[in-house]
Structure 1
């Protein structure tokens, strides 16, 4: 997917059957390492399991930024603008991370909005987000973020970031028109190259293919970190502040399973290097985990993603991806026991909800018949031919429900009972079991029958390290760890459990805002 720099909108294959997807950028992280145990904040060595080799280079800096994706670039550029000596390390061979597919950013009160005659009342956004999060999120953080968002966009423009000039509600999915599109409708054109160039212009010491390995602590305060370059040389970077911007833990099996996912069903779709090492480094020095409250960007797909990727331009994703399966709709969903468990159109108003049930069940399956398939694919002859002749391994086509059950090892009697019950409710025109709207109740009665295993096409985690309103990492008592910050998707605290997406681009807005916030707070900390 990355080979075409395709936007998130493009490679998810949004269709009329689906809903618009919110955006969020990621940053690079270092390769997975061994499991570390927490150490006392007073330790000068950090994790007891990492043994740094002979120090090949010692670097003195004010601030180290770990990961140069959307948030890391914002942090590095802001810190350099503040006059601080900045080292930016990135484990991969390029900047941008998963942020290359981000289309734009949320903001209120920009000149672009004013020119378009768009007026937005910030309190409407704050109230909506707080209510949908059941008041668990920090309203003060939302307030501060939203009121800074306009300035963030103006600041980005000053740094050289290019916008297309279009401001809307993100493909009709939002409640307000606050989504500012990058030039070329993607960050790989409008944001990443310009912010990278700006960082270098300001003197940021950019180290690509360099992986952070361990924080160095002194008297309970950050004193720098150890890193390794692509040749295996150990670097010691002395700094009073470290900003973690490593992009989350989507490729870390242990943390993903801790969050509740079935690892066997996960198909990772982001850029490489999001192994949770930034989180582990923070946890090693006593940081409080936010993993179990974190959210994510994920869709349901049929199969393991190969067809979904290489046939994206021919709209195979309509079948294998969210358009056909993710938001449920007319299909019947059953779990590993062959039992129906949900109102299948539950995600119609929030696209991001479609994968949530996967954390409750060992496996999820979509069951439908030929009539439902043809309706879902809008009668597309090419797609129907593909399904008939080149199906995914996780898709079964059969003449009977019993054959479907046998293919997936599901109890045949239970599956047949679920189909019979569903058809009975369809005939009555009322879903007495889960309340699905009558117009979405379509009987499964026209052979051939189909059953598709739903895997989770996972792009990113959002949040993982608990932080305060200044992006400072906090300890188990929710007290800040001096000099340690987590930004972007490492430390996002705007959401709990689900990305609400009713206001498009807030996650990427947080990437920039948290990066700037951390850099500015660190600048004050250095002067104290």
Structure 2
């Protein structure tokens, strides 16, 4: 019995392939309540952050917390509106998880028209509503879809560069609405330009500065406390705060609340996404959306320490063949050795592949040598790689019983699942879960393999409940005056799963929600 895997992580998708959803960057550290009666009445906790001596007091109209995709959009829009804007960012650079985003969704742009592409917005709205079982706000989708073309034109006015390519995102989508950035990545076409534009418009950008606590007055946002890299406390007075901190992917408590087994999570995004924006909002009475939020996550085998090795092969073979983490010809079992699903269920939306992980303590992929060789297209280098590079989460053995023993599983139960699966393969029909006959391949050619499926998690999407204007709402769904959440902090477009087959809508929401919050805050301040 051998334990083997790829170079510390047999991927179902490459890191580049799953970076497309986009996000803001975490721009704050542990956040807490403003410590006032109004906050507590709305459900806030007692403050655990005690601000030190205030070394600097800053007056502004709007504070943007986090300068990733959505935070930059909010800061630039607010500055264009003539508001005095402070943008704070916990790291030493802008962009966050958004640096790997390839493009953005839009309908009705000049780029689209020049390419001869015509798309009816209602088709997308109807599709998205149906896939969310009508649980999302259709008015939000309608507003977003119909503003998306203007958002791209606005980005171009701000200096953002697009390659000119518009397609359905690598042939995987249902509509040709994906607008590729210059260089096919936001770190080339979006982040430098929007950062420069914010500075040009006079945004007071404070890097290595972490938001700590919202300041509330009479139930309204009045600013926040922050700390710089030297531990000095800043007080920023403002009538509106826009949270754009990039979600909660590195927060164990919130991840477990969402339903994940933390032991199986491998974080693959940029650092600092600790749910701090969410915690600050919750501390002043915001309503949580964590349990219904979605994510950018794929299954992998192993711990995923290295993703660069033979990236082209991983993309063409592992994605195309549906190997390992994405299902396909393999048999999937849970911790009890029991089959539980039609294994190619995620073929139309690879974001779905990790969803069953929230139902089971652990998931495993079982296959044999014939399936392995077919999946790797007979690539001798890859086959040698699997057979010789040791890894704890994949076992190679001469019998099914040895596989079960390696993973501490009931051998009889696993053997029964394999026998039943082989029986169904011989019958040419999956009477248990309806897997297509062409994907039913018996596990009968030794050696046998079994891989534990861990979840390679890039980002959470949503977490703070907001209304259609990106205003954070309280427990009775009334807006908390002056508080906004944008991007992946406050995304309300999806329920439970990111419908990636309409490519780029998550990043489209980053820009749209950032602009929406800035414009609403401008009116709120003026009023």
TM range (shorter): over 0.9
CA RMSD of aligned residues (A): 4.0
User: What is the count of residue pairs matched by the alignment?
Assistant: 526
CA distance in 2, matches of 1:35, 1:314: 51
- What are the Cα deviations for residues 5-34 of structure 1, in whole angstroms up to 9, with x where unaligned? 999999977599999965556554436899
- What are the Cα deviations for residues 127-184 of structure 1, in whole angstroms up to 9, with x where unaligned? 0000111100000000000100000000000000000000000011111110000000
Determine if contact 1:44/1:218 at 8 Å carries over to the other structure.
no
CA distance in 2, matches of 1:9, 1:124: 42
Cα deviation, residue 75, structure 1: 0.1
CA distance in 2, matches of 1:9, 1:67: 32
Q: Using a 3 Å threshold, how does the CA distance of structure 1 residues 22 and 52 change in structure 2: closer, same or farther?
A: closer
CA distance in 2, matches of 1:474, 1:192: 30
Q: SS of the counterpart of 1:112? A: helix
Large movers: runs of 4+ above 2 Å: 3-47, 307-323
CA distance in 2, matches of 1:381, 1:284: 56
Tell me which moved more, 71-80 or 497-506: 497-506
Determine if contact 1:142/1:494 at 8 Å carries over to the other structure.
yes
Cα deviation, residue 327, structure 1: 2.2
Determine if contact 1:19/1:348 at 8 Å carries over to the other structure.
no
- What are the Cα deviations for residues 92-134 of structure 1, in whole angstroms up to 9, with x where unaligned? 1100000000000000110001111111100000000001111
Q: Using a 3 Å threshold, how does the CA distance of structure 1 residues 148 and 122 change in structure 2: closer, same or farther?
A: same
Tell me which moved more, 7-16 or 508-517: 7-16
Determine if contact 1:308/1:316 at 8 Å carries over to the other structure.
no
Cα deviation, residue 314, structure 1: 5.8
TM-score computed with the length of structure 1 as normaliser: 0.94
- What are the Cα deviations for residues 221-261 of structure 1, in whole angstroms up to 9, with x where unaligned? 00000001111000100000000000000000000000000
Determine if contact 2:182/2:189 at 8 Å carries over to the other structure.
yes
User: After the TM superposition, which residues 25-40 of structure 1 pair with which residues of structure 2 at under 5 Å, given as runs?
Assistant: 26-30=25-29, 40=39
Tell me which moved more, 243-252 or 12-21: 12-21
Q: SS of the counterpart of 2:87? A: strand
Determine if contact 1:17/1:324 at 8 Å carries over to the other structure.
no
Determine if contact 1:29/1:247 at 8 Å carries over to the other structure.
no
Q: Using a 3 Å threshold, how does the CA distance of structure 1 residues 36 and 371 change in structure 2: closer, same or farther?
A: farther
Cα deviation, residue 369, structure 1: 0.1
Q: Which sections of structure 2, spanning at least 5 residues, go unmatched?
A: none
Determine if contact 1:228/1:234 at 8 Å carries over to the other structure.
yes
TM-score computed with the length of structure 2 as normaliser: 0.94
Cα deviation, residue 324, structure 1: 1.7
Determine if contact 1:311/1:317 at 8 Å carries over to the other structure.
no
Determine if contact 1:27/1:72 at 8 Å carries over to the other structure.
no
Determine if contact 1:129/1:500 at 8 Å carries over to the other structure.
yes
Q: Which sections of structure 1, spanning at least 5 residues, go unmatched?
A: none
Determine if contact 1:250/1:461 at 8 Å carries over to the other structure.
yes
Determine if contact 1:76/1:204 at 8 Å carries over to the other structure.
yes
CA distance in 2, matches of 1:388, 1:48: 54
Cα deviation, residue 48, structure 1: 1.4
- What are the Cα deviations for residues 255-276 of structure 1, in whole angstroms up to 9, with x where unaligned? 0000000000000000000000
Q: Using a 3 Å threshold, how does the CA distance of structure 1 residues 184 and 313 change in structure 2: closer, same or farther?
A: same
Q: Using a 3 Å threshold, how does the CA distance of structure 1 residues 19 and 31 change in structure 2: closer, same or farther?
A: closer
User: After the TM superposition, which residues 92-131 of structure 1 pair with which residues of structure 2 at under 5 Å, given as runs?
Assistant: 92-131=91-130
Determine if contact 1:137/1:493 at 8 Å carries over to the other structure.
yes
Q: Using a 3 Å threshold, how does the CA distance of structure 1 residues 93 and 210 change in structure 2: closer, same or farther?
A: same
Determine if contact 1:251/1:274 at 8 Å carries over to the other structure.
yes
Cα deviation, residue 308, structure 1: 3.3
Tell me which moved more, 263-272 or 29-38: 29-38
Cα deviation, residue 380, structure 1: 1.1
Tell me which moved more, 44-53 or 87-96: 44-53
User: After the TM superposition, which residues 146-161 of structure 1 pair with which residues of structure 2 at under 5 Å, given as runs?
Assistant: 146-161=145-160
CA distance in 2, matches of 1:284, 1:457: 29
User: After the TM superposition, which residues 307-322 of structure 1 pair with which residues of structure 2 at under 5 Å, given as runs?
Assistant: 307-310=306-309, 312=311, 315=314
Cα deviation, residue 405, structure 1: 0.4
